[in-house]
Structure 1
Amino acid sequence: MQSGNPALNKNTFLDAASGAVVTRSDDAMTINGTVNKTGLLLLLVLVGAFVSWSRFSGPDSLPTIMPLVLGGCIGGLVLGLVTVFKKTWAAVAEGLFIGALSAIFEMRYPGIVIQAVGLTFGTMAAMLLAYRSGLIRATEKFKLGVVAATGGILLLYVANFAMGFFGHSMGFINGSSMLGIGFSAVVVVIAALNLILDFDLIETGAQSGAPKYMEWYGAFALVVTLVWLYLELLRLLSKLQSRN
């Protein structure tokens, strides 16, 4: 099993102590349990987003809201790395980050947030339907391709961030040129395909009798992918609207 999502990997669904899967059904991971925990984490993201969104009242409030953007981003990353202990807090931190960032985008492009939210959940529904119907199969080649593409995007973002310290950047990443729009569209597609990997790993974990607590890992992985997809859609929509 492979996933481009750092919250999941091929050993995620092995019992941490014995390296074996759980055989008792009461202690085993289920898809319904993962869905319920995903709903809870999304609710926590929404709570965090509401807190930071409510503190934004226009350009004058930027000095107040920027610490939430940075704190939410860094906090979500740090807590995500120790997700075995702080999954719920990581969800709240992610909410603070996307709520503050969404408020800034909404100020500049009114209506963009509801469009991005609708497209995010619409994409998730479409990917789930494609996965369940067998239209898209998580074969080993498919997984390898998506993981490689995700890693390539991550390296580009890291390189662009590092270049920023020297006053340079890759213009197509944030620019609204046709190349920039095309790049964002490709990233959105890769983020959406990561949902297929998450669905496959969760289903595999449930079928193999993974430990019950692994439902939290599966739920957190889905939330991470959805947040990434939402942010990339927000970026793509902003590029498109900036050309109008």
Structure 2
Amino acid sequence: MNAVLKTDIKEFPLLARGKVRDIYDLGDKLLIVATDRISAFDYILPTPIPGKGIILNSISLFWFSFTSGIIPNHLYLSDINSYPQSLQKYSAQLAGRSMIVRKALRIDIECVARGYLVGSGYKDYQNLLKANPNATSVDLYGNIIPANLRMADKLPRPIFTPATKEESGHDQNISFDQMATVVGYEVAARLRDTTLDIYSQANEYANKRGIIIADTKFEFGFIDGQLSLIDEILSPDSSRFWPIDSYAPGS
């Protein structure tokens, strides 16, 4: 299998070329193509992995279907044979690794669900403890959690930790109240509740199959005035997966 490092669809304008995905403007819809590029620590690595984009796309399609009873999403088509004729000649670039989606008014907040204390959450948690070493609890982005947790410990309950969406560099973690000043309290509450609902149901499904979803992030937008799930969902690009049988808190 040949790797697809980037696509070249001449009939439609390239709207964006991200770390992994190429996005084309089809008018009232978008074509999103998951390439085989590898991104790590906000950098694109020079060597692609053949077939990676197909796997990422398949994962998102599965979870879009799984979560459709919780919230609608932007998926319109994913079968290359149903694409416009002008795109079908690019099947070598698009088959299995692309989807046509409805355009959405994107909410510029990364909606993060954390079931375990790891990554930037653990780093910020440590900094808060250093500032107040005698504390018995920690306020992590507006979530009160115990002060005796180790790296990768399971949290008493999943928490919602939104972040600003940055075009370059790392997203910045913010509190629920800070998010509410940007999007309004009602929308913020819906984003929080939906994020935690998706995470809890997905993690329960994964647990039964020997996998922990430690944390993940979602993007949302409005399509015809309806809050909808957009971008990609629950892939290794946006989530941390651990095998249950080798899970070891503190390491």
TM norm structure 2: 0.25
- Greater strand content: 2
Q: Which has the higher contact order (CA 8 A, sep 6+)?
A: 1
TM norm structure 1: 0.26
- Greater helix content: 1
